Chains A and B, each alone.
Chain A
């Protein structure tokens, strides 16, 4: 690896080092907003690890996020904290492997539909299990994790996701995924084991989402299935990643920051019509920014290069 190859990881680490001390200066309102942004940044970046290169649109984010939150609710007081995150990751990985093996053999639209319903399915199963064996609808999560603690954990996780994504992009697996995204049949003929490649990255992506759920659970103190498996989570992650552009590793973050702030403002000022505005924001993005902010940047850069080339040389 040359120095140039190390730029991205170095930038990531430098940015994290700049962001890390923020909790020391930020007040509690700003902390809440920052944690919110980081939560969506981790989820959207993890989402794009899989859905970016393969073009498989997954709506299952809430399913894994909720699994993580419920793992914390069940085990948070019984096991030491680091172990709980480990268990959450394990559960996420196992569920993702099962889901991946059974659905990723299917082509595009069936995958979207299944993931669309997956969160609902898991939610129904959890509600049923809780009513039958737990005798409750919701659960309290009394775990001593401060807002700052959540912030630092999410920041660390985001760095880890970005570095993992960087490693995947540079590996054979990254090439395989991009080939699948271009044309799956061709990829298969070129000798790529498409199922293994897709499932592997799907599992990595879902595991990160599950851990995010486990980290976020203590912030709510009370969770029930309709909070933890809220389909709006999948929806927001999707539109944030789309606005940013899923074709680059850092793309989703560019979408998360403006939208998380916008949603915060909308929710505070127009709580009743939030859903309408959310839908409209989504339509605007689909129709007018189809390739995301990253696409706009690339377009701008292309135009700039063409413009500078066309300019006559001073010596002429």
Chain B
């Protein structure tokens, strides 16, 4: 069943894209920081999982428990130390956007450089749960299924957290209107830092999960950043459900392109989709009317 193969692999890929994009959606939607170094953090988490697995035999699932809190703390620190001065300096939201893009662009090269020094430029992968499983007549590796399952689980947990808890409600308030949130007693800076850190925890999760079935190298972060950006904008900034749908669409589009057109054209199709959405509906698939 060729078509089932294609659709299944597209959905699994899409689930990963959605997970990768959710962290960025939080960082950009709530903390208003367009983090161009985002993909480098994904790859850094992948390398961490790789090291833990090959050197210490620790399973990637356990690595999640280490990588997520670590990345939360690191990103929280980045927001507090590097981004807060920019937030204070910015005269308008537009100025903050430009400044944050420039600062994280510098960060991208620093993180990438550190990884290049530590691991070199060669491609890396490891074999974890590479057991074939059959679903509706199509064979899938267990590690991919597990990764996609965990991705959906994390997405649902995040949505529940944002919708059902007090902290989640406060985060959504900051996302909707950072100027009005302090009026109801919300410490905007603290919540922005928390959301930025939470985005960091998600980026670590996606990095670890991706490493289970994906061959990666130190200079690949930019690709993940691009994909995450496309998904975030397609799904609507700060919209977790939108990111999930957009991620799935992107994954399907890629696997269909690779199967029926040409593997070398997937990125071109990515961009065509991205541009089409921007031109027709700049606020994303589920976005409200233009601000």
Contacts and interface: CB of A to CB of B under 8 A. Distances in A.
A127 B268 contact: no
Interface SS majority for chain A:
helix
Contacts of A108: 94, 97-98
Nearest to A274: B113
Nearest to A275: B113
Interface stretch (A8-16, A150-158, A279-287, A304-312): A279-287
A269 to B, nearest CB: 15
A242 B270 CA distance: 31
A279 B106 contact: yes
Interface in A257-281: 272-281
Q: Is the interface of B mostly helix, strand, loop or mixed?
A: helix
B13 interface: no
Contacts, number: 112
Interface string B98-138: 11011101111111111011000000000000000000000
A102 B36 contact: no
B271 interface: yes
B267 A110 contact: no
A117 B271 contact: yes
Contacts of B77: none
Given A114-B275, A235-B105, A121 B267 contact: yes
Contacts of A279: 106-113
Contacts of B1: none
A125 B114 CA distance: 30
Nearest to B120: A272
Nearest to B267: A124
Given A106-B282, A120-B267, A132-B264, A231 B222 contact: yes
Interface in A216-234: 231
Contacts of A276: 109-110, 113-114, 117
B245 interface: no
B198 interface: no
Determine the interface band of chain A, counting residues with CB < 8 A from chain B. 35 or more
Interface of B: 34, 36, 82, 85, 89, 94, 97-99, 101-103, 105-114, 116-117, 222-223, 226, 229-230, 233, 262, 264-265, 267-268, 271, 274-275, 278-279, 282
Interface of A: 55, 57, 102-103, 105-110, 112-114, 116-117, 120-121, 124-125, 127-128, 131-132, 231, 235, 238-239, 242, 272-283, 286-287, 290
17 contacts: A102-B279, A106-B278, A108-B97, A109-B97, A116-B229, A121-B268, A124-B264, A125-B268, A128-B265, A242-B102, A272-B116, A275-B109, A276-B109, A280-B106, A282-B109, A286-B102, A286-B103
Given A114-B275, A124-B265, A276-B109, 15 more contacts: A57-B98, A57-B102, A102-B275, A103-B278, A106-B282, A112-B34, A117-B229, A132-B262, A235-B109, A242-B102, A273-B113, A276-B113, A278-B109, A279-B112, A282-B109
